Every structure is written in C-alpha cells, then in structure tokens.
C-alpha cells in the first residue's frame, strides 16, 4: 500500500506543479498582452458600401492583425449593432459609434471603453472621445475640403484636451485630411497645388491656403506639444509613401501620393511607442482609398 500511496502522491504533486506552471504562464502572457497595445487607425471608404465584397477580406485582415484598439473613419451605413458585430468578429467585445448617419467614426477595443464623449457641434463629421486603459483617444475625421474649417476643428480638439485632468495620456488617431510640414519636402514636386487649385475652382472648395498647401492645422498640433508618431519613427532609409490614394478603382482624378492619416500622442505617451508605420501590403492597397496606420505601445504601468 505504501508504494501505491507514494505513486499517488507523486502523481498529485506532478499534476499540481503542471497546474501552477500553466497558471503562472497564462498570467504572465496576459500581463504581457495587457502591457502592449497594438492600435490601428483606418478610413474604410464609405463603410464598404461602394464595394461590399471587400468587407469579408477586411474582416479577415483584421483578424490577422490582432489589434487591441481600432480607430475607424467613414463607417457609412453603420449602426451601433453592426459595428459591435464586426468588432466581435475580430475579437473586440467593446465598440462605440459616433452616429448612424453621414460619415460616422467609431472605435473598437479588446478592453472596456469608458468616459465616452460625443461632440457634434462645430465639427463637420463630429468628434468621438473615449478612454481605454487610462488613455484618452480622439477619433479624428476633419473636414475634407476646407483648411479653415479644419483649423477651427483642431483648435476645438486642443481646447478639449486642455480640459482633461492634468497629466492625461492622449492619442489622436484618424484622417486629418491635411498636410504635415514634416512631409513638405516630399511635395516639392509641385503637382498637388494645380490639382487642388482645380478642385477649389470647380467645386467651391478651399483646400489651398493662398495658393499653397496648408500646413497650419498639423502645425497647431505639433506646437501644442503632440508627437507625430509615424514621422518620429522614420529611419535614414525611409522612403516616403503616403496614406492616400491607393490602388482601388475610383472615378475621377485623385492627385499624387500624400499623407492624410496620422497618429499623434502626448509627450508622456510618445516615449512608450515601439512601432509606428503606414501599412502598404497588397491586401490593403485594394481595400480602401486610404491605407491603415499601425502603432504599438509598451505600457510600463
């Protein structure tokens, strides 16, 4: 009997050791995942209403990317339920839609979404602000064709950020529809000014500022102290590749490559960024007229 008791105790101890090791490994993995955030911003072009068959490919791509948080623009024809269903398909239990008409923005997350604020007044598309894992996220979609309105919108956002608790960590993510002075050298070819001049004349738009590309909106953000994450991650081997247009077929002329989509972060968060890039794979070049942007953060608290 003693031999059997010894064997039984050995088996029990072994099983308990395996159990505790498994628990510790799982807890360690969960902690590592919670300490690292993978965030995507994506303008999905009319909510896939123009070419519905691309929606399935987009969902598959999102599953492959395994993002923790996704900032979305142009969720046309979306409802709160539709966004929630899409979010669940790529592993997100939480989602918020700005509105159910026009050009809504939205955000989905693996983690709870708190302190939700929807602002419609003073914004062409509206503004969505939420808090996830103690970070305030502003989902951005500025006016598509008027630099003065864009500047008013960004100034309202900056005023809103100033109202947050002191020391807040903040990310602005989305389609700013405008140009960064950090990219000005890549637009020195002079082909964008005639393109926008024609649009301004034909459609009564106001893209050009005194006949030139407008950099004042992004300059306001930078002067406020926010960091352009993609630009800040460029190396000496960097080759400019804008976020718009892509290879999808669309009517009309769309101009030369330009960067319209950005991630900006407050200084107290920017130093936690481990990756920031525009994704330009064959798949996304044919999904939307904008390319997605990816950032990764390592949170040490």
Rounded Cα–Cα distance for residues 42 and 39 (Å) = 10
The predicted model scores a pTM of 0.89
The DSSP result for 279-300, as a single string, is ---TTGGGT-SS--EEEEEE--
Instruction: Tell me: pLDDT of 34 over 70.
Output: no
- Looking at per-residue pLDDT, the higher value among 10 and 215 belongs to 215
* pLDDT the model gives residue 22: 56
* pLDDT the model gives residue 29: 47
* pLDDT the model gives residue 241: 87
Does the 38-298 domain belong in CATH 3.40.50.150?
Answer: no
pLDDT by residue (tens digit) across 265-286?
999 999 999 999 999 999 999 9
Instruction: Tell me: pLDDT of 28 over 50.
Output: no
Q: What is the mean pLDDT of residues 199-214?
A: 98
pLDDT by residue (tens digit) across 157-189?
999 999 999 999 999 999 999 999 999 999 999
Looking at residue 165, the DSSP 8-state letter turns out to be P
Helix, coil or strand: residue 113: coil
Beta-carbon contacts of residue 37 (< 8 Å; ≥ 6 apart):
68, 69, 133, 296, 297, 299
Least confident range of 5-19, 127-141, 219-233: 5-19
Answer for the pair 93, 110: CB distance below 8 angstroms, yes or no: yes
Looking at residue 121, the DSSP 8-state letter turns out to be T
pLDDT by residue (tens digit) across 85-126?
999 999 999 999 999 999 999 999 999 999 999 999 999 999
Q: Where are the domains of the chain?
A: 38-298
Q: Calculate the CA dihedral of residues 131, 136, 141, 142 and round it to 10 degrees.
A: 140
* pLDDT the model gives residue 181: 98
Instruction: Tell me: pLDDT of 245 over 50.
Output: yes
């Amino acid at each position: 009997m003693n031999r059997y008791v010894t064997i039984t105790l050995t088996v029990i101890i072994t099983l308990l050791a395996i159990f505790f090791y498994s628990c510790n490994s799982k807890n360690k993995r969960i902690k590592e995942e919670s300490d690292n955030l993978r965030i995507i911003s994506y303008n999905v072009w009319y909510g896939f209403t123009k070419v519905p068959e691309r929606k399935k490919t987009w969902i598959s791509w999102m599953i492959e990317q395994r993002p923790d948080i996704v900032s979305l623009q142009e969720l046309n024809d979306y409802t709160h339920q539709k966004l929630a269903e899409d979010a669940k398909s790529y592993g997100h239990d939480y989602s918020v839609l700005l509105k159910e008409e026009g050009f809504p923005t939205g955000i989905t997350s693996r983690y709870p979404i708190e302190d939700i604020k929807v602002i419609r007044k003073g914004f062409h598309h509206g503004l969505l602000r939420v808090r996830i894992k103690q970070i305030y996220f502003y989902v951005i979609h500025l006016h598509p064709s008027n630099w003065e309105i864009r500047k008013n919108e960004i100034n309202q956002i900056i005023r809103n950020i100033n109202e947050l608790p002191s020391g807040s960590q903040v990310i602005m993510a989305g389609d700013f529809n405008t140009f960064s002075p950090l990219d000005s050298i890549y637009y020195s070819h002079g082909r964008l000014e005639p393109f926008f001049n024609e649009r301004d004349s034909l459609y009564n738009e106001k893209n050009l500022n005194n006949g030139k590309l407008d950099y004042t909106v992004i300059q306001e953000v930078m002067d406020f102290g926010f960091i352009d994450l993609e630009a800040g991650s460029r190396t000496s081997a960097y080759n400019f590749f804008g976020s718009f247009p892509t290879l999808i077929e669309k009517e009309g002329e769309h101009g030369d490559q330009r960067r319209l989509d950005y991630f900006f972060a407050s200084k107290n968060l920017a130093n936690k960024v481990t990756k920031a890039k525009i994704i330009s794979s064959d798949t996304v070049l044919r999904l939307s007229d904008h390319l997605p942007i990816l950032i990764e953060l390592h949170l040490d608290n």
